[in-house]
Amino acid sequence: MGRWDTRYTPYLAIAPFFVVFGIFGLYPLLYTAWVSLHDWQLVDGAQGFVGLENFRELFGDPHFWNALGNTVSLFVLSTVPQLLAALGLAALLDRGLRGRAFWRAGVLLPNVISVAAVALVFAQLFGRDFGIVNGLLGFFGIDPVDWRAETWASHLAISSMVMWRWTGYNALIYLAAMQSVPKDMYESAMLDGASRWRVFWSITVPSIRPTILFTVIVSTIGGMQLFVEPQLFDPGGTATGTGGADRQFQTLVMYLYEKGFRLFDAGYSSAIAWVLFMLILLVALLNFTLTRRIASKG
């Protein structure tokens, strides 16, 4: 019994994770792949096997490529500045500030606020006629911007919303990693005459490389699955998921929502889901490789 306990108890301990993953992760993934190979209506069910027809139609769909371009644009505009800002914010919080607990709790506040409330606030900030941002631009003689009607303007507005929500969260993750860096490394660098800037890039960043890789991968997954912020940014089109009158900020997940839950085409939306899955996997691997090389060179 003792030998059986030693050999099999660890497997029993980790079994709940794999059971839950199999039910709520692996099974839906495989079932979605099966649905994508059928003409499948959300209400009426399967209408027949069509093979890769949904994928062929998808790659010839201009709305899909538009949504893909919007997704990549929003991902880059929100994720890259967000992680850089989080890194800088974590470095500030790692210093001996007064009221450190207050500041550390404060940076997490945007993440715990309801995303619906955040969207309402930013909708007012970026309003065309009475928005605060346009009011500030007016002081510099810049004409008001219709943030919802123009592609790049809407992308900047939505990206600012995403950055506001997640910068503090990533900063606390970086801060926890920074506090585990041995202090004697900093002391040795200071004795050698290294500046704070040099210490940060030569000691801090390489030391927290695994944490940076983690945030890059998680942010990639979240950025490619962006849905709530752009969906709520368009109050008039919230139910349709079109992302503006000209689909100027419709993401892939919004297009999936439109096809699957407004037009009830489950087969087509499942094909979108699988293409999105492969894109996230590809971009995450690319980011992992690039970040690891940059960090190792630093």
Average pLDDT over residues 86-92: 90
Instruction: Please report, for residues 7, 52, 226, 265, 275, the alpha-carbon distance to residue 38 in angstroms, rounded to integers and kept in the order given.
Output: 44, 8, 26, 10, 16
CA nearest neighbour of 80 among 25, 172, 178, 159? 159
- Output the pLDDT for position 137: 86
Residue listed under structure tokens 């980790």: 14
CA-to-CA distance for 225 and 219, rounded, in angstroms?
10
Q: What per-residue string of b and e applies to 226-248 under the rule 16 or more CB within 10 Å gives b?
A: bebbbbbbbeebeeebbbbeebb
Q: What angle do CA 125, 126, 131 make, to 5 degrees?
A: 65
> How large is the C-alpha radius of gyration of the chain?
23
Band of residue 112 on the pLDDT scale cut at 50, 70, 90: confident
Q: Is the pLDDT assigned to residue 253 strictly greater than 70?
A: yes
To the nearest whole percent, how much of the chain has pLDDT over 70?
Answer: 93
Q: Do 229 and 119 form a contact (C-beta atoms < 8 A)?
A: yes
Q: Do 276 and 253 form a contact (C-beta atoms < 8 A)?
A: yes
Band of residue 272 on the pLDDT scale cut at 50, 70, 90: very high
